[in-house]
Structure 1
Amino acid sequence: MKLATAPVRPLIAVGTGLAAVGAAALLGLPGVVKAPETRLAAAASAPAEGAYWHTRVLTRRTGPRQMGSGANRYWVVEQTLNEEWTAPDGKAWFGYRTAGAYPKSAADRKAWRRDGSPARWTRTADGQVVKLSTEPDKGRVGPVRGKDDTFFLAGQRLTYDEVQRLPADPNALKSWLSKAARVSRVSQNSMDEFIAGALLEMLYRLPTPKNVRAAAYQSLLTIPAVRSRGESKDSMGRAGAALSIDHPKVVQRNGLTIKDKTNLIVDTGTMLLLSESQTTAIRGKLSLDETSTHTVLAAGWTNTAPAVPALP
């Protein structure tokens, strides 16, 4: 089962998208280098606190198109679960499951009932082909094929020990990432987005020590596009520091204007990402908005073996 090619939606869409970075690691894409100037000094590393570094993420996505027909049009929320288990030796497993779609609001539920309360959708209201169901699927889990013994970060392949030795000083960490960006030939205009994406990777997907995560959080706050928004709660009621990322780039594609807006919530006690929400505004002949909320249900060490993702 080649689960690395599962249709997983992007997670944490900053720059090229953190899920895209994670997928590159899972797929073992070529062209990633471990450049001499980005190598980390040898030192003793703390042992792993469990058999696997485990992440569990619930994604809820709305839009960009409504379901139904005629006057009975409504928004549907699509739910998916993604889990990763990575051992210190680099071996990894991936789990994926759709968790069932549902009408977004009370008004949407009324329109859905007028539409006959369908349990499945094969087309949107404007005729686009989709495949959605109110029922969860059985899910799947399996090893990631072709992955080597390294962890992917900022265009570099790092061993587990090197991940443990990432700089725990915010300035040193940002300097290391800047070197990695130059090695990866990132343009100056994209440098901040590249670094922000790598810093967010450290806040949940990689088995970085807490002091390195704290440095990543502090480094993130120094990026001009990042704003502190006080405290907020995620969809699970967990409190954390709220941040927003202003994406100055407006992408022009096929006559459309595309602009993203991102909000984050970080637990500053554990220094782990709690959630990310992104709205993509598409303007052209049609005006469409797509909203995704990614809730990190778990990020940390576990001894529990990989299994099909349980429903939330």
Structure 2
Amino acid sequence: MDEMIRALLSEPPPSTGATTDARRRLTDEIAGSRAARPSRTTWRRFAGVAVAAAVAVGIAAGSIAAIAPEGTRPGPTATAPELLLAAAHQAAAKPAGTGRYWRVQIVRKSGAGVRGRAGGETFDVGRRHVADVWQPRNPEDGTWLGSQNLGAYPWSATDRAAWERAGSPTEFETFVDPPTGARYVTLSTRPEAGRLQRVESGFRIEVFNLYDPFELARLPAEPDALRAAALDDLRRNGRDPGDLGVYVMMTELLTFAPATPELRAAAFTVLSRVPGVRNVGIREDATGRQGIGISYLADDWIILNPRDYTFLGFGSQATDGTPETATSMLKAEWTDSEPVPPALS
């Protein structure tokens, strides 16, 4: 599965250490195989897309409005519960979408453990790619996966200076350490043409997602019932039934599932009640947009648009504090458009 994902997304694999550590900690924490509280580590999967269609039944928007009245717009320094309840109010007020396909498009940037070299200089390298999934209401329309490599770039200002000293090359060599063994590859700063291919119905990039969005979108759309259903699912599947498990399930629902406005409002409300959830200040997504970071763990956050509290994206940090991944949510909507290859620049 890993090799297929990399081929589809045109992304050189991360280092063996980064991959092993992230996946082990992710599965350990959610499966509950360790009793300790989660540590500061890059444990989350926030990268890929899995989409589907479903139906949810609801709560009245008025119950959310009673918590976060019309016109309430907490600022960027508000507490996380205040921001999440405002997001719940906004979500409940949005109309439900319609269309042939549920489409989710993301841009991801990553740069951990990859170093480029050119002209006698070395520099850390970031890479960006697009994943674009079209999931049909009618299975006969087919599920489609679009992908596009947006090119490599110097990761930081210091790395950019080294790259410029090397002559600002559009191509350079980089060392990677995939599970199959060490090798050198050539990366380019130029975006590639997007690709589109039909995949099996119900296709999921399983390495990135713990839950089937079909199932998430069928959860009850009332906060208490939603939390109870989440805990029941976690117990039945042998996962940790605590606050961490609820946090992960709700963020996956809000990120990838074709949930009704009522269900999205309920999910935001459930998140607002998770003990320890907090505002971690301004965070930047993979396209440079800035929003308010909401976190349960010290090294992992979601990013809310400060104007309407919709998702801009999410991100995580390595244990040394160096930004490792960031993701932008560009589209999460029903559409009648025909699937097309992504064409970002």
* 2:318 match: secondary structure: strand
In terms of fraction of residues, the more strand-rich structure is 1
Distance 1:141 1:294 in 2: 20
Percent identity over paired residues: 27
Q: Which residue of 1 aligns with 2:324?
A: 291
Aligned match for 1:179, one of 221, 229, 232: 232
In terms of fraction of residues, the more helix-rich structure is 2
CA contact (8 A) 1:65 1:124 kept: yes
CA contact (8 A) 2:148 2:195 kept: yes
| 2:133 is the counterpart of 1:84 | yes
Residue type of the partner of 2:197?
G
Distance 1:142 1:76 in 2: 28
Q: Which residue of 1 aligns with 2:4?
A: 5
Q: Which residue of 1 aligns with 2:339?
A: 306
Distance 1:62 1:106 in 2: 14
Distance 1:231 1:113 in 2: 29
Alignment of 1:6-155 (within 5 A): 6-7=5-6, 8=9, 15-16=26-27, 17-18=44-45, 22=49, 49-68=98-117, 72-89=121-138, 91-124=142-175, 129-147=184-202, 155=211
Shift of 1:236: 5.7
CA contact (8 A) 2:47 2:327 kept: no
* 2:247 match: secondary structure: helix
Higher relative contact order (CA 8 A, sep 6+): 2
Distance 1:122 1:223 in 2: 45
Specify whether residues 211 and 192 from structure 1 end up closer, same or farther in structure 2 by C-alpha distance, changes over 3 A only: same
Distance 2:212 2:152 in 1: 37
Distance 2:3 2:97 in 1: 24
Shift of 1:181: 0.9
Shift of 1:268: 7.5
CA contact (8 A) 1:217 1:271 kept: no
Aligned match for 1:223, one of 261, 274, 289: 274
Shift of 1:139: 2.4
Distance 1:52 1:305 in 2: 8
Aligned match for 2:295, one of 237, 244, 253: 244
- For residues 204-250 of structure 1, the C-alpha deviation after alignment (integer angstroms, 9 at most, x for no partner) is 31110122112112212322342124676756676654302316xxx
Specify whether residues 196 and 121 from structure 1 end up closer, same or farther in structure 2 by C-alpha distance, changes over 3 A only: farther
Q: Which residue of 2 aligns with 1:197?
A: 248
* 1:75 match: secondary structure: strand
Q: Which runs of 5+ in 2 are unaligned?
A: 15-21, 28-43, 59-94, 204-208
Residue type of the partner of 1:193?
L
* 2:319 match: secondary structure: strand
Aligned match for 1:280, one of 306, 315, 318: 318
Distance 2:192 2:125 in 1: 17
Specify whether residues 128 and 263 from structure 1 end up closer, same or farther in structure 2 by C-alpha distance, changes over 3 A only: farther
Specify whether residues 274 and 295 from structure 1 end up closer, same or farther in structure 2 by C-alpha distance, changes over 3 A only: same
Distance 1:273 1:167 in 2: 21
Specify whether residues 101 and 217 from structure 1 end up closer, same or farther in structure 2 by C-alpha distance, changes over 3 A only: same
Shift of 1:177: 0.9
CA contact (8 A) 2:106 2:130 kept: yes
Distance 2:294 2:48 in 1: 21
CA contact (8 A) 1:4 1:94 kept: no
Aligned match for 1:213, one of 247, 264, 274: 264
TM-score by length of 2: 0.63
Q: Which runs of 5+ in 1 are unaligned?
A: 27-39, 248-260, 283-287
- For residues 13-49 of structure 1, the C-alpha deviation after alignment (integer angstroms, 9 at most, x for no partner) is 99454568856x79xxxxxxxxxxxxx889xxx9851
TM-score by length of 1: 0.69
Shift of 1:275: 1.3
Which piece of structure 1 moves more, 85-94 or 136-145? 85-94
